[in-house]
Amino acid sequence: MRRAALRLCTLRKGLLTPVRGLIQGSQNPEKESVLHVYEVRDKLREIVGASTNWRDHVKAMEERKLLHSFLAKSQEGLPPRRMKDSYIEVLLPLGSQPALREKYLTFQNTIRFGRILEDLDSLGVLICYMHNKIPSANMSPLSIVTALVDKIDMCKSSLSPEQDIKFSGHVSWVGKTSMEVKMQMFQSHGNDFSSVLDATFVMVARDSENKGPAFVNPLVPEGPEEEELFRQGELNKGRRVAFSSVSLLKMAPNAKERTTIHEMFLSTLDPKTISFRSRVLPPNAVWMEDSKLKSLEVCHPQERNIFNRIFGGFLMRKAYELGWATACNFGGSRPFVVAVDDIMFQKPVEVGSLLFFSSQVCFTQDKYIQVRVHSEVSSLQSKEHTTTNVFHFTFMSEKDVPLVFPRTYGESMLYLDGQRHFNSMRVPVALKKEYRVEP
């Protein structure tokens, strides 16, 4: 499985490498002016006219109502854009600016992957604004938000906290109101940058008040490489629709999955009794319910995005850190992340919310640990909880981990869902001990 997946990783890296027309300027960021990661959110505030003061946020959002006249009535009325129009490179100067390094470090002097997720989320939004730029308007009438993290694959496990990191990305596919963004992360090694991470995000455009959908500029691919990227975007959309249509929340498991669950159930029956209720764990196994961890966040204005809701990158970081702790506690060693996929932003989180995270191991195989994190907000009036996100993370431990066994039918569905997400993983990576990506 690993060799085949590594071959797929090599193929995908070839597809995701920016084509010649997209590459802008030198590959050495020290020789040119490059936007820094910490400048990205400032640039986003400038694009939408967001205030840096929380007390002014209502006034700022009222001013955005005046931008409705700039919204297109149809996509046909918008000029087409090329992939290179949205292409951007952004530098995270961990090596050249040591003062910035502390924000990204764990206590073991490793890179915090949760911070990388925040940077990817902000960069994806900026890329989409570049694609939809209106020269005649000082501010954009669009409210662009993250709808889905389709896939993040780690192509390399070792990251030095003392070398610069570079992000690049561009819009790779466009629908009527949605956009797919391809991003890559590289790390400096001398004068060269080696690929570390491939990411695919899906963004949606909303009107200036973030109340309804808005049309985005069409995308015209140039040349066979861009046409292949665009075609892959269409395939990704179809894959997401197909995956959703067979969701275990909608359809029963298939015959193979039913057999798997039944065999697991039989293996937990106590041979000393003739009863379906007497359950015992096989050797080197853990009940799924015993792998849970939970946390609570009070959502303060500091973590708001440019539209005064809680920043999606913050949600991903907190979910990832809880998921990592769950895998660490379960496996008995410090794991590293291999893949992130299918993070759906179902409901925005308002400032002031009580945000509950619940994490559990739902599937294991050899050294791999599949973790599902569920987040929900609580209504202070009705006490009801509403799901905001579901996160899926694949970790790899330093040693083989126990098998996880469901006890109930609901847990059995979680197990199968985790197995499906694990089987969709395309980039297993060999463990390297010198530097790892951690919370």
**Helix 2-16 / helix 223-245 crossing angle, nearest 10 deg:** 130
- Of 349, 320, 324, nearest to 120 by C-alpha is 320
Neighbour-count burial of 259, counting CB atoms closer than 10 A to its CB (0-12 exposed, 13-18 middle, 19+ buried): exposed
The reported pLDDT for the residue numbered 406 is: 96
Domain spanning 255-426, CATH class: alpha beta
The reported pLDDT for the residue numbered 22 is: 57
The reported pLDDT for the residue numbered 248 is: 86
Question: How many angstroms separate the CA atoms of 363 and 130, rounded?
Answer: 40
The reported pLDDT for the residue numbered 276 is: 76
Pairing of strands 143-154, 192-206: antiparallel
Q: Which 8-state DSSP code applies to residue 221?
A: -
H/E stretch holding 259: helix 255-267
Per-residue b or e along 170-192, where b marks 16 or more CB atoms closer than 10 Å to that residue's CB: bbbbbbebbbbbbbbbbbbeeee
Largest CA distance in the chain: 79
The reported pLDDT for the residue numbered 90 is: 96
The reported pLDDT for the residue numbered 378 is: 86
Which pair of tokens denotes residue 389? 């996100």
H/E stretch holding 44: helix 37-48
User: At 85, which amino acid appears?
Assistant: D
| Residue owning tokens 């085949």 | 4
- Sorted by where each begins, the domain ranges of the chain are 37-245, 255-426
Neighbour-count burial of 218, counting CB atoms closer than 10 A to its CB (0-12 exposed, 13-18 middle, 19+ buried): middle
> Would you put residue 339 in left (φ > 0), alpha (ψ -120 to 50) or beta?
beta
The reported pLDDT for the residue numbered 427 is: 46
The reported pLDDT for the residue numbered 439 is: 72
What CA–CA distances, in Å, run from 195 to 9, 135, 330, 372, 435?
A: 11, 34, 30, 27, 15
Query: Which residues, at least 6 apart from 5, have a Cβ–Cβ distance to it below 8 Å?
Result: 425, 426, 427, 428
The reported pLDDT for the residue numbered 114 is: 94
H/E stretch holding 295: strand 293-298
The reported pLDDT for the residue numbered 437 is: 62
Torsion angle (degrees, nearest 10) of CA 149, 154, 160, 162: -30
User: At 244, which amino acid appears?
Assistant: S
The reported pLDDT for the residue numbered 183 is: 97
Question: How many angstroms separate the CA atoms of 43 and 49, rounded?
Answer: 10
Tens of each residue's pLDDT in the chain, 439 residues: 444 344 334 434 444 455 444 544 334 434 446 899 989 999 998 898 877 777 777 777 777 888 888 899 999 989 999 999 999 999 999 988 888 898 998 887 888 999 999 999 999 999 999 999 988 778 899 999 999 999 999 887 668 888 999 999 999 999 999 999 999 999 988 778 889 999 999 999 999 888 899 999 999 999 999 999 999 999 999 988 888 888 888 899 999 999 999 999 999 998 778 777 778 899 999 999 999 999 999 999 889 888 888 999 999 999 999 999 999 999 999 898 999 988 989 899 988 899 999 999 999 999 999 999 999 998 777 788 999 999 999 999 999 999 999 999 999 999 999 999 999 875 444 434 444 566 7
User: At 157, which amino acid appears?
Assistant: S
Neighbours of 342 (CB within 10 A): 18
Q: Can you spell out the DSSP letters for 334-358?
A: --EEEEEEEEEE-S--BTT-EEEEE
- Of 267, 188, 173, nearest to 30 by C-alpha is 188
Question: Right CATH number for 37-245 from 3.40.50.970, 3.40.50.150, 3.10.129.10, 3.40.50.10420?
Answer: 3.10.129.10
Query: Which residues, at least 6 apart from 100, have a Cβ–Cβ distance to it below 8 Å?
Result: 38, 92, 93, 94
Cα 46 from chain centroid (whole Å): 25
The reported pLDDT for the residue numbered 4 is: 39
Cα-Cα-Cα-Cα dihedral sign, residues 142, 146, 148, 152: positive
Same fold, 37-245 and 255-426: yes
User: At 428, which amino acid appears?
Assistant: P
Q: Can you spell out the DSSP letters for 104-123?
A: GB-TTS-EEHHHHHHHHHHH
Torsion angle (degrees, nearest 10) of CA 387, 391, 392, 393: -150
- Helical residues (DSSP H) of 132-252, grouped into ranges: 223-245
Question: How many angstroms separate the CA atoms of 438 and 115, rounded?
Answer: 10
Query: Cβ distance 364 to 419 under 8 Å?
Result: no
Question: Is 129 in a helix, a strand, or coil?
Answer: helix
- Of 69, 65, 118, nearest to 318 by C-alpha is 118
The reported pLDDT for the residue numbered 73 is: 92
